[in-house]
Structure 1
């Protein structure tokens, strides 16, 4: 017999774990199918830390974050774990840097409070930096660290508490969409459900093609690096902020840093700048040594005391849309199939909110949040 559920969720990462939690909390019968181990390193959601912030160059994202923050706090309370650590964030750039100008304008339109600091003021407050005199910065105090892996596992554990079934190491072999439901074939068996959530990260493109949705998604295997600073006490949360440098260096686009979290080392990487591939099967997970060398030049220039031993380096997959905005929508032909993909390297902070949005769409047929920016029809 085919085991039946209200909803099947394909993918147990950031978004999949969240939608499973909110559906199960609403007493829906939920099955999560994860093709790898839970908390695996092959995708986008594993790790010590991700940035959570209000500061965005688009007021729509700021408004969404005003809804996401309370959900993270509520999850943290229910899970009885510290999932969010407040650090503050510095966005650094020159006065004529386009992205820093757009950021300031966006925060002003959204009535988001922040401080505007000169290079001298930044270095007085955070002497870890060594900056050109013409640099300026925007400091937003509510930015922090989300403990990424713990967030995913907390969503999943609580989903199970409410009755969800989580099956790891269960890849999907075939999807059959019916007028009133779906049928999913796996090596573990065939499962049926009234509704389907596709939250498969970098594997979404190939899965969606099976059901007639062709999206211009590309995979960017970004590299992360963790360093042991010469003075680690100076790079802890509370003493050192998250930072984003709004200028290009040869190590990549938009270098950023995250304070030491759970003995992880100081995380420094770049948001963009790597070559993309069309199919996740073509991803090369091998770290680049030359990128580390270029990154060290950046660190030596602006954070000299951070340029210590390399603790770890690895790849993290970004699933990119052409405009770097998300996809959160319903299948164009089947209103019981929901899609969340293409989070373009800045989606983790929204995952609990996206999970709530998807659960509301599935249960109520609507959401209180403006998701028009994320429609499939724009491609």
Structure 2
């Protein structure tokens, strides 16, 4: 006999763990299914850190972050652990760069507080950076890092505490939608629920295609590098901001970096985009490229020489991209009790606790108070 739940969530990464938490917090009897082990390294949500920031090139994202920050603070209080580390954030590049100009326009439109710094002012405040003549920067004080794996596990732990059932290492074999319910099958069990939330990351495309939703998603296996600073004290969160460099090179598109309190982790330096994409997770080569490690280290040598030390570790992490790099957060066009979050395009984690809340609102109320105009499924249908 099928086990009954109010809501089933597929995928226990950043978005799914948050959705399970907010559904359970809303009084729902929740089942969270994950095909791998919790906090696995095959997808997008594992790791010691992700950037959290207000600085976005579209005011809609800035307003969403104004809703997300308080939710992170509330999650920290509920979980009784620190998940957010404030470092401040530095965006630097040439003022003529289009992305630099678009960012400024967006921040001004959203009335976001920030500082504009000339290259010499950056050097005075943050001597770790060696900017080219003519470069400038924006500094926004509230940026920082989220302890990514801890955030995912906090959501799942609190969801379970509120009564959610969590089943990892449990791949879904079939989904059968009905008029007002949905059946989910695994190899050994059958579950029924009034609502289904699909947050399957890089596995979303195939799963959604079986439900008649064909999304043009691509998987980008990016690479993360962690380097030993020459002077570790100069690269702690209290003295070194997260950064984004508005430039492209043989290392990829838009390098960024994150400091860490633990010296054994080092400084994370990678790029936003710039790797080849594949269509399916089975095509992913998780083997890190040593050539890329040297190319991104050369970027550091030029602009942050103190961070260009020995490699501590490097690994692959998956992005799931939409063509416009905006998310998909919406209801199924034919089954409104099925909602989905997909295509977070390498910049979704900072929103994950808010996305979980939004998916919960869509599942329970059919709408969310937050602006989803960029995230409609219909733009690809």
TM range (shorter): over 0.9
- For the residues of structure 1 that align with 2:162 and 2:260, how far apart are their CA atoms? 34
Q: Residues 45-64 of structure 1: CA distance to partner in whole angstroms, max 9, x if unpaired? A: 00000011111000000000
Question: Where do residues 65-104 of structure 1 align in structure 2 (5 Å cutoff)?
Answer: 65-104=65-104
SS at match of 1:69: helix
Q: Residues 143-174 of structure 1: CA distance to partner in whole angstroms, max 9, x if unpaired? A: 01100000000000000000000100000011
- For the residues of structure 2 that align with 1:100 and 1:187, how far apart are their CA atoms? 50
- Who is 1:292 aligned against? 293
- Who is 2:17 aligned against? 17
Give 1:319 deviation, angstroms: 0.3
Superposition TM-score, scaled by structure 1 size? 0.99
- For the residues of structure 1 that align with 2:186 and 2:101, how far apart are their CA atoms? 50
Question: Where do residues 81-230 of structure 1 align in structure 2 (5 Å cutoff)?
Answer: 81-230=81-230
- Who is 1:372 aligned against? 373
Gaps of 5+ in 2: none
Give 1:363 deviation, angstroms: 1.6
Question: Where do residues 271-286 of structure 1 align in structure 2 (5 Å cutoff)?
Answer: 271-286=272-287
Give 1:129 deviation, angstroms: 1.0
- For the residues of structure 2 that align with 1:362 and 1:178, how far apart are their CA atoms? 15
Point out 4+ residue stretches in structure 1 off by more than 4 angstroms. Answer: none
Q: Check the 8 A contact 1:10/1:34 in 2, yes or no.
A: yes
- For the residues of structure 2 that align with 1:173 and 1:365, how far apart are their CA atoms? 27
- Who is 2:57 aligned against? 57
Give 1:20 deviation, angstroms: 0.3
Superposition TM-score, scaled by structure 2 size? 0.98
SS at match of 2:248: coil
Give 1:261 deviation, angstroms: 4.1
- Who is 1:327 aligned against? 328
Give the alignment's Cα RMSD to 1 decimal.
Answer: 0.7
Give 1:188 deviation, angstroms: 3.1
Q: Check the 8 A contact 2:336/2:366 in 1, yes or no.
A: no
SS at match of 2:131: coil
Give 1:106 deviation, angstroms: 0.4
- For the residues of structure 2 that align with 1:378 and 1:352, how far apart are their CA atoms? 24
Give 1:241 deviation, angstroms: 0.3
- Who is 2:306 aligned against? 305
- For the residues of structure 1 that align with 2:147 and 2:156, how far apart are their CA atoms? 14
- Who is 1:7 aligned against? 7
Q: Check the 8 A contact 1:325/1:343 in 2, yes or no.
A: yes
